[in-house]
Amino acid sequence: MKSSRRWLDPQTREMLQPEPPHKVAPPTLPDYSLVLLEAGEGRKRMVRAVRRVNGCSASAAGRLLARRLPLVIHRDLSYHDAAFGQFEFVCCDAVTVIIASEVVVDGDPSYLKDLYARLRRSDEFQIVSLQIESVPSNDEGTRFLNQFVGLTETEALLQGFPLERRVLFKKARIMTHWARRIGAEVGLTADPRRK
């Protein structure tokens, strides 16, 4: 888990949640919950994300993911740990939000339903087309492919570049940021904020 936290540089944290959760739903306690609103593709990758966030077994992660959405993945996290969790799920194209734990526990169900629906409509969670033109043939390139696409370098080469994917806009922005840092070439076809 520690090695995957290296992805959370200040710019990536800003892309995950530009406004701190206390502005969305003010807490009186400084702890946060990671709430899954929409599962991503790739069951194995989703299980991996739960395991990294919760430090649990694959079977426990699978049982948690079998529950009905919206689903609290973990409650009472520090903001940093909640942002790490959101990053892990965004890499799986899953929609998660960070909410004050007090709001998740004590919030009126209709308020939470409206809050989750409003957050889900964010431009950050719109699907965009992304093209991975190339990735360096080194450890950073291998980690990039595994973290963001779920492929090994060999699998990516077999599929052939460019790799086209439909991903959450939030993920596309993070991938573009990290592509620049490691020397990969990634292109986004449209920005949903420019409608």
Q: How much is the pTM?
A: 0.82
Asked if 52 and 144 sit in the same domain, the reply is no
Mean of pLDDT values over 38-61: 95
- At 46, list the tokens: 């989703």
Mean of pLDDT values over 65-70: 97
Domain contains 149: yes
What is the reported pLDDT for 165? Answer: 93
What is the reported pLDDT for 188? Answer: 85
Give the DSSP per-residue string, 60-105: HHHHHHTSPSSEEEEEEE-HHHHHHHHHHHHTTT-EEEEEEHHHHH
Beta bridge partners of 166: 129
Mean of pLDDT values over 83-91: 95
Domain contains 195: no
Using the 3D structure, point to which of 121, 138, 168 is the last residue of a domain.
Answer: 121
What is the reported pLDDT for 121? Answer: 94
Whether residue 22 is predicted with pLDDT greater than 90 in this model: the reply is: no
Asked if 19 and 91 sit in the same domain, the reply is yes
Q: Residue 83 is part of which domain span?
A: 3-121
The helix (run of H) or strand (run of E) holding residue 99 is: strand 95-100
**What does the alpha-carbon distance between residue 44 and residue 57 come to, in Å, rounded to a whole number?**
12
What is the reported pLDDT for 55? Answer: 95
pLDDT digits (tens, 9 = 90+) for 118-146: 999 999 999 999 999 999 999 999 999 99
- At 84, list the tokens: 């790490």
Asked if 114 and 25 sit in the same domain, the reply is yes
Whether residue 45 is predicted with pLDDT greater than 80 in this model: the reply is: yes
Asked if 113 and 132 sit in the same domain, the reply is no
**What does the alpha-carbon distance between residue 138 and residue 142 come to, in Å, rounded to a whole number?**
6
Asked if 86 contacts 42 with a C-beta cutoff of 8 angstroms, the reply is no
Asked if 12 and 79 sit in the same domain, the reply is yes
Q: Which of 103, 126, 128, 127 minimizes the C-alpha distance to 114?
A: 103
Q: How confident is the model at residue 25 (pLDDT cuts 50, 70, 90)?
A: low
What is the reported pLDDT for 157? Answer: 85
Asked if 76 and 159 sit in the same domain, the reply is no
* Percent of the chain's residues with pLDDT above 90: 73
Dihedral, CA of residue 37, residue 15, residue 174 and residue 79, to nearest 10: -60
Supply the CATH number for residue 102's domain.
Answer: 3.30.1390.10
pLDDT digits (tens, 9 = 90+) for 154-184: 898 889 999 999 999 999 999 999 999 999 9
What is the reported pLDDT for 9? Answer: 77
Domain contains 117: yes
Q: How many domains does the chain divide into?
A: 2
Asked if 13 and 90 sit in the same domain, the reply is yes
The dihedral of CA 68, 86, 112, 195: what is its sign? negative
Spatial CB neighbours of 92, under 8 Å, sequence gap ≥ 6: 40, 41, 42, 45, 46, 49, 150
